[in-house]
A = this chain, B = another copy of it.
Amino acid sequence: MYKLAKLLFPICRSITGNGVRQTLNIIKRYVPDMNIIEVPTGTKVFDWEVPDEWNINDAYILNPNGEKIVDFKKSNLHVVGYSIPVNDIISKDELDKHLYSLPNQPNAIPYLTSYYSKRWGFCISELERRKMIEGDYKVYIDSSLKKGHLTYGEIIIPGETNKEIFLSTYICHPSMGNNETSGPVVVTFLAKWIKEIINRKYTYRIVFIPETIGSITYIAHNIMEMKTNIIAGFNVTCVGDNRSYSYLPSRQENSLADKIALHVLHHTHPNFNKYSYLDRGSDERQYCSPGVDLPVASIMRTKYGEYDEYHTSLDDINLISPEGLQGSYEVYQKVIECIENNKRYISNMICEPQLGKRGLYPTLSSKNSVNKVRKLIDFLAYCDGDLDLLEISEIIGVPMWDLYEIKNLLEENQIISQV
């Protein structure tokens, strides 16, 4: 995964443009059956409209001495996203109005965008800014903002039912690591893995979209299937660093997605940070909005907005790590396995079965013989056809995956049946 991250990191992405296409084409090498969809500028999507497509070739600032003090080629964060073209010589005072820096993080280039209001600007570290001398500066942005398309990728992996598990990640952030090279990387590998699941019960809908306008566009075009089919969804973002695990609920807060996410995190990373829906800040804002009401939660490593490097050049490729990505990948795998396995079982017998005659119970009854088969008989005690595997595992206080083998054993012995 880290190799893919390194491939995707340098690309200058925005909510539209060739950086998005380039990113999707690399991902398609891993999951070839991804569809890449182009939505024309001007398409109405609910209260919004697909904006002009933005592309950029180069950008820089020359100081009065002709030195390149800002160079888009060195960091694509230097240009405010969706900057209109400019090619001018202006005073330092005039330039100052177009410069953005962070006085409290003097060595960081901030990340800024202006999608829906036409302006141009440069982002620069506070240290570089302080070094700027008096005089006239050449500002140059070779960008274009014209009719084009919004581009996104979609993978549908069919399962036994058309009920769906939904994964969404976004491909509109330029060169930053945790937020957001990590999301597309982890989702790409999850998609590869999902295709290999034997007897996949659910259908998987997986999208790589630009944030906000992308999710709104996607919802606008798919709302009926999504509302009908999706039983659990996750907005996959900030899954690359190795400092913590985080959970952000759906608006419902107790959907299947939420319950499974909490179950998995409690048993695998009990010190995870639990956020509220009020802390949201990504595409769950659209997926969970009134009227859309999808059960979309997020499991993250360190959450957007909660770490100093967030939305600056300090969130670079070194902030994420193979371990960070792998941890997220494994948690999402466990989540998906739990949903796939979350079935209801009913005992075929009244009263406890005689486990001993099937070799499932110690034949010599002593002080603590029951403890040896405690999980099995606890599981059986709640196999009433109403409680699902998640509910039973919560009641008896074990991770769901501890029950998979027991459940198989009991099914093989015809002691329980799936409802």
Say which residue of B80, B116, B310, B397 sits within 8 Å of A367 (CB atoms).
B310
* 16 further contact pairs, Cβ within 8 A, besides A47-B354, A311-B366: A46-B349, A46-B351, A80-B364, A100-B366, A112-B364, A112-B365, A113-B364, A114-B363, A116-B363, A212-B352, A219-B351, A220-B351, A285-B377, A286-B351, A290-B382, A293-B384
Q: So how many copies of this chain end up in the complex?
A: 3
Which residues in B have their C-beta under 8 angstroms from that of A396?
278
User: Are A385 and B47 closer than 8 Å at their CB atoms?
Assistant: no
Is A110 among interface residues, defined by CB-CB distance under 8 A? yes
Is B289 within 8 A of A347, CB to CB? yes
CA distance A119 to B364 in the complex (A): 9
**CB-CB contacts below 8 Å: A341-393 with B:** 346-347, 349-354, 356-357, 363-368, 370, 377-378, 381-385
B residues near A381, Cβ cutoff 8 Å? 251, 277, 280, 285, 288-290
A260 to chain B, nearest CB (A): 22
In the assembled complex, 11 residue pairs joining A and B whose CB atoms fall closer than 8 Å, in A order, are: A46-B350, A47-B349, A113-B365, A116-B356, A223-B350, A277-B381, A278-B395, A286-B352, A290-B346, A291-B350, A292-B350
A199 within 8 A of B: no
Q: Which of B102, B112, B114, B354 contacts A48 (CB 8 A)?
A: B354
Is the pair B110, A383 in contact by a Cβ cutoff of 8 Å? no
Give the chain B neighbours of A216 by CB distance below 8 A.
351-352
**Which residues 286-308 of A have a CB within 8 angstroms of B?**
286, 288-293, 305
Residues in B whose Cβ lies below 8 Å from that of A357: 116
Contacting pair B285 A47 (CB below 8 A): no
A341 to chain B, nearest CB (A): 20
Complex Cα–Cα for A352 and B48 (A): 9
Distance of A254 from chain B, by nearest CB (Å): 14
Min C-beta distance of A308 to chain B, whole Å: 10
Residue of B114, B292, B305 near A365 (CB, 8 A) is B114
Q: How far is the CA of A381 from the CA of B48 in the complex (A)?
A: 17
A interface bracket (residues with beta carbon within 8 Å of B): 35 or more
A189 located at the interface, meaning its Cβ lies under 8 Å from any Cβ of chain B in the complex: no
Q: Which of A80, A223, A310, A363 is most buried by chain B, counting CB atoms within 10 A of its CB?
A: A363
Q: Is the CB of A364 within 8 A of B114?
A: yes
Alpha-carbon gap, A111 to B396, bound state (A): 29
A401 CB–B CB distance under 8 Å? no
Q: A278-B378, A364-B112, A365-B113 are in contact. Are A384 and B350 (CB under 8 A)?
A: no
Within 8 A of B (CB), among A146-172: none
Contact A47 B365 (CB under 8 A): no
Question: Which residues does chain B contribute within 8 Å of A370, judged by CB atoms?
Answer: 281
**A117 at interface (Cβ–Cβ under 8 A)?**
yes
Across the interface, name the chain B residue whose C-beta is closest to A117: B363
Looking at the assembled complex, report how far the CB atom of A79 sits from the nearest CB atom of chain B, in whole angstroms: 13
Give the residues from 24 to 54 in chain A that come closer than 8 angstroms, CB to CB, to chain B: 45-48
